């Protein structure tokens, strides 16, 4: 899997300037030691999330994050398959657009208006939508011969003590919080990849969960 960086977020509206202004917003790479696909993806308010994927046949494929005893920042908070970028998913996503337009007409500076502006070039264009989703969602671009069916385990850096760049100070940021940047999150992802190879499942799940 090739290393790819994406830059998609407009950080100019965030009140505070910092190292995040010059960072990418998503990075994919293959962990050298384990061969597992890795991602870091920035959340809507600027905090990073880190992910490691396992393919079918791996002991953790399809398991919940509670079934994995992993020592990682804040603990595991995510377990799911790759985001769906199919035409069917686009059709389902498009069904929400009329309600966004209705809400935006009532609240021109609200969330719906912001969403319409952000996705303006994708509202009626599947290829543009797919490219934008690949640049922002929990998915990877595999090379020839690599599996595109991956089960991701992830953690986030939006816990107590974490600075969230896009969050107004009124809603929880304080001077004791620290920003967890690219280098820190990549180190945590690398640590998680090693644990997914060496650790045993906590318990056997009743069923294998399918990604949506």
Domains in the chain: boundaries: 1-83+138-212, 85-136
Whole-number Å distance between alpha carbons of 104 and 126:
22
207 pLDDT exceeds 70? Answer: no
Lowest average pLDDT, out of 7-11, 149-153, 181-185, 198-202, goes to 198-202
Tokens of 184: 């820190």
Quote the pLDDT of residue 36: 96
Q: What is the mean pLDDT of residues 78-85?
A: 94
Q: Which residue has the higher pLDDT, 194 or 160?
A: 194
Question: CB within 8 A of 125, min separation 6: which ones?
Answer: none
| The model's pTM | 0.86
């Amino acid at each position: 899997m090739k290393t790819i960086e994406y830059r998609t977020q407009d950080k100019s509206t965030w009140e505070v300037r910092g190292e995040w202004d010059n960072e990418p917003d998503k990075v994919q790479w293959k962990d050298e030691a384990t061969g597992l696909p890795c991602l870091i993806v920035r959340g809507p308010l600027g905090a990073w999330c880190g992910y490691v994927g396992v393919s079918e046949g791996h002991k953790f494929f399809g398991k919940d994050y509670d079934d994995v005893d992993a020592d990682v920042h804040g603990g595991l908070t995510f377990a799911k398959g790759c985001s769906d970028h199919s035409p069917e998913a686009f059709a389902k996503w498009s069904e929400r657009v009329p309600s966004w337009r209705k809400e935006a007409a009532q609240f021109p500076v609200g969330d719906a208006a912001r969403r319409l502006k952000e996705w303006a070039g994708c509202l009626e264009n599947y290829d543009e939508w797919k490219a934008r989703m690949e640049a922002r969602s929990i998915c990877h671009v595999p090379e020839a011969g690599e599996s595109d069916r991956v089960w991701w385990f992830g953690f986030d850096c939006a816990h107590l003590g974490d600075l969230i760049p896009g969050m107004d100070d009124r809603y929880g940021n304080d001077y004791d919080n620290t920003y967890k940047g690219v280098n820190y999150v990549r180190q945590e992802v690398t640590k998680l990849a090693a644990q997914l190879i060496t650790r045993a499942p906590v318990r056997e799940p009743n069923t294998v969960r399918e990604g949506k």
